Amino acid sequence: MGREKGFSLIELLIVVAIILVIAAIAIPNLLRARISANESSAVNSVRQISTAEFAYNSAYPTKGYAASLAVLGPTSATTCTPSVTSACLLDWVLASAGPGTAGKSGYVFAATGLVPLANGANSSFVSGASPVTYNQSGIRDFCATEDGVIRFDPGAAGSTPTSTTAACQAFTIMQ
């Protein structure tokens, strides 16, 4: 009697074991790559928020820097008429990615106008970003102030975007 064609159970188990070993090596690298991509997007978004703050301060000098992230964006996803309360300087996705939302690319963002002057204008601002789910969507928090320098800090579970100049300036400067 001749040998039948096909694979034995042992051969199939060996192939499955090899596939599992390859997957065990590849999946953590894939997760790290996604975190890295989310962090790159967050840094770019913090830079966009800072640029929008500078533009808002130039366009509305009696208001100074914008008081919140929502003020820098449009009133809705389809409507954009620039005004003091909705400057249309950011896209809808970023302007509506504040804490308590699903965020953008795994991060939530905030922009806070600070140090109101006697006329009510904000003379300073902080823009910040924190991962939606620490260690899954990101592992670092990011921020910038009116000096335009992007800074980072090791994140922590449950962190929120920083909202004070002192806290942001305690972060490490991006190289």
Domain residue ranges of the chain, discontinuous segments joined by +: 9-173
Write down the pLDDT at residue 26.
87
Instruction: Work out whether the CA dihedral 65, 67, 71, 72 comes out positive or negative.
Output: positive
DSSP, residue by residue, 134-156: BTTTBSEEEEEETT---EEEE--
Query: Considering the entire predicted model, what is its pTM?
Result: 0.86
* CA distances in angstroms from 33 to 37, 87, 109, 139, listed in the order given: 6, 34, 21, 12
Look at the block and give the residue holding tokens 């904000």: 122
Write down the pLDDT at residue 114.
94
Comparing CA positions, the residue from 59, 111, 101 lying closest to residue 84 is 59
Count Cβ neighbours within 10 Å for each residue of 124-141 and write b for 16 or more, e otherwise. bbbbbbbbbebeebbbbb
Write down the pLDDT at residue 155.
86
Write down the pLDDT at residue 2.
61
Q: HSE (CB half, 13 Å, CA atoms) of 42?
A: 33
Write down the pLDDT at residue 1.
56
Write down the pLDDT at residue 123.
95
The strand order across the sheet containing 107-116 reads: 107-116, 122-131, 140-145, 151-154, 172-173
Which residues face 142 on adjacent strands?
129, 152
Write down the pLDDT at residue 6.
83
Residue 165 CA to residue 170 CA, distance in Å, equals: 9
Below-50 pLDDT ranges, the chain: none
Comparing CA positions, the residue from 151, 168, 68, 167 lying closest to residue 111 is 68
